[in-house]
Chains A and B, each alone.
Chain A
Amino acid sequence: MDEDSTVAEDVSADFPTLDRRDEDQLLPQLVAHLREHRTKLRQEWASRIQDAHLLHAMTPQEMSAETTSVYDNYVEVLETGSVEALQHYARDLSERIIPRGVETHEVVGIVLLLRDVLARSLFEKYQRDFALLNRVLDAYEPAANRIANTVAVSFVEERERVIRQQQDAIRELSTPVLPVRERLLILPIIGVLDSERARQLTEQLLTGIRTHRAKVVVIDITGAPDVDEAVANHLVQTVDASRLMGASVIITGLSPKIAQTLVTIGVDLSKMNTIGDLQGGLEEAERLLGYSATRQDSTAG
């Protein structure tokens, strides 16, 4: 690159009037132009965003603040060529707007709009010198694409992270093994039970029985919609396995539909301790525990 002759030769083929130094001046020139017209261009961008019905989850004030930040970050990337700062900002922005329901297409949309607004302004400025305009756009577009890419990727990554986090949280929340009182566990099942969740649930319950030395377990499935046969089967196995560990299981909140599924797979419901609602289940649990507690009290030395 230091060999001026080669560079000059390359450049002179297309741009006989300019040498390498002018080429280096292009981006700074461009950046200076975008800084100079910052207010006007930013406003134009904001109104285009509004026209496109993007980001309507945000208030005008927020919109103004964020667009200013994005604009400045954008120009900075053009100037420095480094997307690092933009990446941080994009991630930070994503974290703030994802919980408000901003979608991927909106984020990509506003960045593409900004790209377009700036390109139009450059076009206007350089339209008299077509060769120069070409070179300005050649310098601008790769950088602009890189910016759009960075923002989109940061947003999607952040979104995936949030979704993963939420899934974990939901999973934790939906299969809690709750020690209500000594020797009594409640396992409320909320949400769709697939095989994988059913498997986790069983493992949690069985180790929970050992940890809490539970004698009675109440599995409340009021919050579970329909279960398929595989999951129903798993539920029955969980009941049997709990029994092998010395814990009695009471099932509450059995919907007629799930009861039907259980009968279909050949479960003898009369052999399962099922009780209408959680309250009744807890009373039954107390009764069982009281019984065994009396026995224990009378014999424990």
Chain B
Amino acid sequence: MRRIVSARVADRTTADDLVQETLVRVLAATARVEPGMLEPYAIVTARNVVASMWQERDRHRRNQHRVVDLRAPEDPGTDLLAREERTAIARALERLSERERQTLLAHEVSGQDTRSLAAELGTTAGAVAAQLNRTRARLRVEYLLALERTEPPTDRCRPVLLALSSGDRRRQREVDAGRHLLECDPCARLSEPLMGRGQQRDDLTRIPIHRDGDIVAARQGARDLATRLRFSRTDLTVISTAVSEVARNIVRFAGAGEIVVELLEAPRRGIRVTARDTGPGIPDLEQALTDGYSTYHGLGLGLPGARRLMDEFAIVSEAGRGTTVTMTKWRQEG
């Protein structure tokens, strides 16, 4: 693309600007263009950009003596939006490293395949593809940040947003993305468009927990999902009872949180329930997991019971930040 532009424009800086603008247009159009069409589209766009620059200059020269701009005024709203979007993409591109930008450009715009890119970079095609995925994920994050004109408030935000954008579940767990979204409003807002673009997962249910009624919704959601793995009737009831306990724990002691239920296929089939809250945390976990601590003193934590019901149970709590309970029930085979 740079070749196309450079062939028509002598000035290096101008060429760079035009390449940038072309890229911006191409990326903005990615969603509307078939993947195989990207390169032709980029070339056409590059030509148009260059042509319009000449036209612009020409007209500019011819009209220099006039005071009034003769260009047809566009709808100011649309124009502004389009300009904002373009600026956001440009800013996002600036955030990428030189190498990331070049690889992305070579692949997306020039259509260079991953194998030849790998040969140039002295790596494997798989590594290039992975790198490209990460770059795209970063571009999306930076684009949204630029569009919203915000800088993430904490150091944890970017890693979380990246993990969400790339749809990397393992990474999301590593950075504890779920908890962060509960705590960080800007990230929670950004997460919607980030996750919305990934395919909807039908093996996961997320239930926000705020009041009593949500407890019923959580256990129903867990039961519905678990039914798909054909758990025995008893196991289904055991699972929803455990979910009920941890959900109530959130309502009573934290006020707000969420329950995520997901189906597991490997290494064994099962169901995992993650309950997070942003409450005060549990000061003495050992005590909270002891029978009698809860059950006979008014409000019940229900944690020992939930632990007994499930096959695996883990709890992490931090004073002032909240509690995360992760529990798993394996499907009995046979």
Contacts and interface: CB of A to CB of B under 8 A. Distances in A.
Nearest to A206: B234
A196 B332 contact: yes
Interface string A180-201: 0000000000000000100100
* Most chain A CB within a 10 A radius of its CB, from B234, B332, B334: B234
Nearest to A195: B332
Nearest to A199: B332
Contacts, number: 8
A203 interface: yes
A244 to B, nearest CB: 13
Contacts of A196: 332, 334
A202 B232 CA distance: 12
A262 B334 CA distance: 29
B234 A203 contact: yes
Interface size class on chain B is under 10
Interface in A196-255: 196, 199, 202-203
B232 A203 contact: yes
Contacts of A203: 232-234
Interface in B213-255: 232-234
B34 to A, nearest CB: 45
B235 to A, nearest CB: 9
A52 B334 CA distance: 40
Contacts of B232: 203
A169 to B, nearest CB: 15
Contacts of A199: 234, 332
A202 B234 CA distance: 10
Nearest to B334: A196
Contacts of A202: 234
A6 to B, nearest CB: 37
A106 B233 CA distance: 45
Interface string B297-334: 00000000000000000000000000000000000101
A199 to B, nearest CB: 7
A145 to B, nearest CB: 35
B32 to A, nearest CB: 54
A201 to B, nearest CB: 12
Nearest to A202: B234
A203 B332 CA distance: 14
Interface string B149-181: 000000000000000000000000000000000
A199 B234 CA distance: 9
A20 B65 CA distance: 95
Contacts of B332: 196, 199
Nearest to B233: A203
B313 to A, nearest CB: 16
Nearest to B332: A196
Interface string A102-133: 00000000000000000000000000000000
B262 to A, nearest CB: 24
A183 to B, nearest CB: 23
Nearest to A207: B233
B158 to A, nearest CB: 46
Contacts of B334: 196
B192 to A, nearest CB: 42
Interface in A41-61: none
A232 to B, nearest CB: 15
B307 to A, nearest CB: 14
A144 B233 CA distance: 52
Contacts of B234: 199, 202-203
A202 B334 CA distance: 16
A196 B334 CA distance: 10
A132 B332 CA distance: 59
Nearest to A171: B334
A233 B176 CA distance: 36
Nearest to B333: A196
Interface string A150-170: 000000000000000000000
A202 B332 CA distance: 15
A199 B331 CA distance: 13
A196 B332 CA distance: 8
7 contacts: A196-B332, A196-B334, A199-B234, A199-B332, A202-B234, A203-B232, A203-B233
Interface of A: 196, 199, 202-203
Given A196-B332, A203-B234, 6 more contacts: A196-B334, A199-B234, A199-B332, A202-B234, A203-B232, A203-B233
8 shortest interchain CB distances as A-B pairs: A203-B234, A196-B332, A203-B232, A199-B332, A196-B334, A199-B234, A202-B234, A203-B233
